[in-house]
C-alpha cells in the first residue's frame, strides 16, 4: 500500500484539508460582495479579489503550518515551498476571480494534496452556496446545507445526450476554441461561465464533460482529485497527465472521455 493510502495519513490529510477550507472561507467570504463603494470614497484603489485571495491563502498556510509543517506547498498567490514528506499541498484560494468580482457563486477554493505524481486528495469549496465537494482514496462526497452524502459521476451516455461546460466561450486560442466546438456541437447542451463549479458538477453526476485550456496546476489539481474519486476521468487533451494544467478535459466516465478525446484530436 503506498504511503498516501495509509488510513491514518488519509485521516490527517482530510482533517487538515477541511480545516484549511474553513479558514479560507472566513477570509474569502469577508471580501465577497463586499463592494468597492466605501473603499472608493477613501480615494484608495482596493481590489477585493487580491485581498480575498491573499488572505485566504495565508489562512490556509497557517493551518498547514500548525498541523503538517513538513509538507510542501504550492499556492497561487504565495508561490512554492518545498517539504520533506513527499506530499505537496496545491492551493488556489479563489478560483474564478472574475466570478468572485461579479458576485457570482461559481468561484471556489481549491485544495489538493499531491504525492509527487498525482493529486490523491482534494476539495472544491463554495462557501457562499455552502457546498463542499471532497475526494480522497476513500471516495467522494458533497457536504451542503442539507446533508453530507456520497457523490458519483454520471454513467456513460452518448455525447448527443451529454452536457458540456467550459468557462470562457473562446476557450483559449482559436484552435482550442475550434477543438472545443467540435465536441460541444455534438452535445445536447453547452454551458459557460461556471469556473471550478463545473468540475464539481461532473463529480456530483450532473455534467458529462468540462473542457478547458490555459489552466495552471493549482486550477486543476483539486478538481482532479474530486472528479477522480467520484469515478470520473481527468487528463490533458491527448489523454496524458493533467496535473500541470494547460489543456484539460474532465469526463464523467471513460467512455465519454474517449469519445471527446477522439474529437479533440482531430482539431489542430
Binder among 17, 99, 210, 230 for a second copy (CB under 8 A):
99
Q: For a second copy, which is the closer residue by CB, 189 or 244?
A: 189
Q: For a second copy, which is the closer residue by CB, 156 or 239?
A: 156
Give the HSE-up count for residue 228: Cα atoms under 13 Å, Cβ half-sphere.
21
Binder among 2, 7, 103, 240 for a second copy (CB under 8 A):
103
C-alpha to C-alpha distances, 256 to 7, 196, 197, 232, 249, nearest whole angstrom: 32, 20, 20, 10, 11
Three-state secondary-structure class, residue 238: coil
Total residues contacting a second copy by CB under 8 A comes to 31
Binder among 4, 165, 179, 225 for a second copy (CB under 8 A):
165
Q: Do 210 and 203 form a contact (C-beta atoms < 8 A)? A: no
Give the Cα separation of 59 and 211 in Å (integer): 31
Q: How far is the CB of 162 from a second copy (least distance, A)?
A: 11
Q: Do 64 and 23 form a contact (C-beta atoms < 8 A)? A: no
Positions in 187-206 near a second copy (CB under 8 A): 189, 191-194, 197, 201, 204-206
Q: Do 91 and 75 form a contact (C-beta atoms < 8 A)? A: yes
Q: Which helix (H) or strand (E) holds 124?
A: strand 119-126
Q: How far is the CB of 36 from a second copy (least distance, A)?
A: 9
Give the Cα separation of 199 and 183 in Å (integer): 17
Identify which range of 93-101, 110-118, 179-187, 227-235 contacts a second copy by CB under 8 A. 93-101
Give the Cα separation of 230 and 242 in Å (integer): 17
Q: Does 145 bind a second copy (CB under 8 A)?
A: yes
Q: Does 163 bind a second copy (CB under 8 A)?
A: yes
Q: Which three cell numbers stand for residue 6?
A: 495509509
Q: Does 20 bind a second copy (CB under 8 A)?
A: no
User: In what order do the strands lie in the sheet containing 189-192?
Assistant: 189-192, 163-166, 209-215, 246-251, 233-236
Positions in 208-267 near a second copy (CB under 8 A): none
Binder among 64, 74, 207, 220 for a second copy (CB under 8 A):
207
Q: How far is the CB of 215 from a second copy (least distance, A)?
A: 18
Chain positions contacting a second copy, by CB under 8 A = 33, 35, 37, 98-99, 101-106, 128-130, 145, 154-155, 163, 165, 169, 189, 191-194, 197, 201, 204-207
Amino acid at each position: 500500500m503506498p504511503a498516501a493510502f495509509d488510513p491514518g495519513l488519509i485521516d490527517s490529510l482530510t482533517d487538515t484539508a477541511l480545516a484549511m477550507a474553513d479558514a479560507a472561507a472566513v477570509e474569502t467570504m469577508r471580501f465577497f460582495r463586499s463592494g468597492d463603494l466605501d473603499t472608493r470614497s477613501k480615494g484608495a484603489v482596493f481590489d477585493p479579489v487580491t485581498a480575498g485571495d491573499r488572505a485566504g491563502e495565508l489562512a490556509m498556510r497557517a493551518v498547514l503550518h500548525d498541523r503538517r509543517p513538513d509538507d510542501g506547498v504550492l499556492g497561487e498567490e504565495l508561490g512554492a515551498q518545498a517539504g520533506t514528506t513527499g506530499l505537496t499541498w496545491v492551493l488556489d484560494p479563489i478560483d474564478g476571480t472574475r466570478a468572485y468580482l461579479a458576485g457570482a457563486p461559481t468561484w471556489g477554493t481549491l485544495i489538493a494534496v499531491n504525492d509527487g505524481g498525482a493529486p490523491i486528495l482534494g476539495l472544491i469549496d463554495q462557501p457562499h452556496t455552502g457546498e463542499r465537494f471532497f475526494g480522497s482514496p476513500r471516495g467522494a462526497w458533497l457536504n451542503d446545507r442539507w446533508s453530507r452524502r456520497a457523490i458519483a459521476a454520471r454513467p456513460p451516455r452518448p455525447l448527443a445526450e451529454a452536457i458540456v461546460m467550459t468557462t470562457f466561450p473562446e476557450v483559449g486560442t482559436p484552435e482550442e476554441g475550434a477543438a472545443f466546438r467540435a465536441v460541444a456541437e455534438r452535445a445536447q447542451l453547452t454551458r459557460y461561465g461556471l469556473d471550478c463549479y463545473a468540475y464539481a458538477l461532473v463529480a456530483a453526476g450532473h455534467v458529462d464533460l468540462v473542457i478547458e485550456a490555459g489552466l495552471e496546476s493549482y486550477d486543476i489539481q483539486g478538481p482532479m482529485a474530486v472528479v477522480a474519486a467520484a469515478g470520473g476521468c481527468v487528463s490533458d487533451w491527448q489523454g496524458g497527465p493533467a496535473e500541470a494544467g494547460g489543456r484539460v478535459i474532465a469526463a464523467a466516465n471513460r467512455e465519454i472521455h474517449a469519445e471527446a478525446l477522439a474529437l479533440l484530436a482531430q482539431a489542430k
